[in-house]
Structure 1
Amino acid sequence: MKKLVFLVTVLLIAVLAGSVVQAQDLELTLWIYDDGRLEVLTQLGEAFEAEYGVGVSVEVVDLTEIRNAMTLGAASGEGPDMIIIPHDNLGPIVENGAALPIDLGDAAANYLTSAIDGFSYNGGLYGVPLAVENIGFFRNVDLVPEAPATWDDVEAVGAALLDSGDVDSAIGLPDLTYNSYPIFTSFGGYIFGRDATGSFTIEDVGMNNEGMVAGLTWIEHLIEEGLISANVDWEASHVQFETGRSAFILTGPWAINRFETAGVPYAISAFPAAEEGGAPGYPFLGVQGLVVNANSEDAILAQTFAVDFLATEEHYQMIFDAEPRPSAWASIFESASDPNTAGFNAAGANAVPMPSIPAMGYVWDAWVNAGALVAQGELSPQEALDSAVAQVLAQVAG
């Protein structure tokens, strides 16, 4: 039935365009921002054409160009029919009216709730989730055979290894923001709260709440005790871990290749809790998904590709096999068996999508500055985070 409706739609579009012959020349354009899925999406596009008679051209385009096309040119009908983006780029596209609302119907139950949450905005769904991604808690299993339960345990193990000369740093913190977020959340910290629709809102800023302050205070304590350097550095933290000179690091899938090349024995697990028996810290969740250009002349056809054709377990399995990022399709996510994927899944079990509201764009510089001021001993955690919130609110107010 769906295919019949689709074919009627194609013919109607062609007739409105002035020629039935044009139905055979229709081609959808899909822009993606990396080439990891290029081959499999091209194959799926060919399968769609074989079944529906409409081609799909898949092109790798820089993410900045995708954002610009969807926020600046989409209203005039320019740009692609579909895009694949990280969910935190969604807000301005929805605000601009360039994202077509998506109705998955009963099929929504096939997806991770958190993945649906990632592409929801102001109470509506504006994308079809494809994959999820989050950081994990890495440990050197030769130095630390069992995963510590609390951050105090991490400190105790790291301090003992530092005292014995086995490591140069108790734990690797690539930054004091994104990668350290599970420390903050374990103490009850958050960036933005949610409104009655479940959407993140600037009306509830948690950047300087008690939990955020407690997390930054713990990091400050490690620096004061000489357990980690005051000069937090992305590359240095990864080098220390891969050379066996740090027992722990908080990082993501992008580090796997370098760690395996270096031969460091590692395991990935859930994040520690702030206290014994407490809830483990959780990271930001990144969700990649497909958004349909609401201003495309072929938006209905693009929606058919995204919702009626692409969204099957078979096709999601093909996407996962081609590039094994944790799938947004629940059954595929839950069946992951390789240690790395299972470890990231455990670390991200309670992950919350990074807020996609425009105000999140103001958070990063303010948060980085707060961490640096504390690390260098210039402000207390409370003072630094209060200043960060003031900076964000001032920018929002314009």
Structure 2
Amino acid sequence: MALTRFAAELRAEGRDVLALSAGEPDFGSPLPAAEAGIAAIRRGDTRYTAVDGLPALRKAIAEKLERENGVAYDADEITVSSGSKILLLTALMALLDRDDEVLVPAPFWVSYPEMIRYADGVTRLIATKPENGFRILPQDLDAAIGPRTKLLILNNPNNPTGAIYTHADLAALGEVLARHPRVAVLTDEIYEHLNFDGVVPGNLVASAPYLRDRTILVNGLSKSYGLTGWRLGFAAAPKPIIAVINALNSQGVSSPSAIAQYAALAALSDSQDFRDRNRREYEARRDLVVAAITGTPGLDLVAPQSAFYAYVDCSGWIGRIAPSGQRMETDEDVARELLGSEGLAIVPGAPFGLSPYFRLSFCVDRATLADGLKRLHRFATRVTND
């Protein structure tokens, strides 16, 4: 928030501020989805639906899960709501009692610990290492499980690192979880289709079918389909868990937007050329970022396998002097100095649980991205030892 205020102040002064901080696709909604939403309005299909969504949409999601993820769910084991974020929260509320422990690999999406706290749980972080591609290993998971462990959150692919757990990775983690029958798993798969280099994210239930009765799968259409403002997510889980999520949602957000549901139905049913074309564009931008960071003094990067972020190691700048004359001691200092010196907005790593890093988003066109990377390199050449 402080950096946002600083950026606003700079803009008010007439400064050119370039943001590589957003987590929102820069392409618009697919035309068939948008037209389906408009058609729903014109037909008058704008009334409340069931809390768990349109039967036709839940059926389409079940077909998608079987076709793309290799898992079979009945339509009544699926619920639809106003974005995947509320489903993550209600899943936590459905599963956790006070002081139950939730394992979260770090780096993590910044909302997880706050959601856990909201649901009266306790976060326990599992550190990952860049040499392991920011993935937890089976021995890491086994060592982290304690007497109060109730749940593991697995963000696959990961925000902010772009790390992917493959089928083999998940099968190995599943063997650990098989020895701990009280531990459930919440999988956040929102970036599943933005994968690069032919590396495909696995699905935990497909990789370890014996975990099906204690796994909640959460996904949505915001990242892969650009349906961010339409606010539509879905979850798949055994009926008793889905029933509790629906009960919570019925007293909270109630039914999701009927218009957005018709748009989602069209997006899932139409050709996936839109999704695949944009995935290729993000992969090309990823390559530009990796090449630029590799040639920038003081920075290091594990090439992201998915999503549209680079989680950049800036330890080479810590303890050194920024162009402003200030010494940079933290990644928050790095973010502030980049904004002040170059008008470049990025997100410091501390809120993601691993420092000193910063997250750089490539949800911008190539020309804007190239400008941002140029500013980053120029800043690096002006960093000094004293």
**Greater gyration radius:** 1
TM-score by length of 1: 0.27
TM-score by length of 2: 0.28
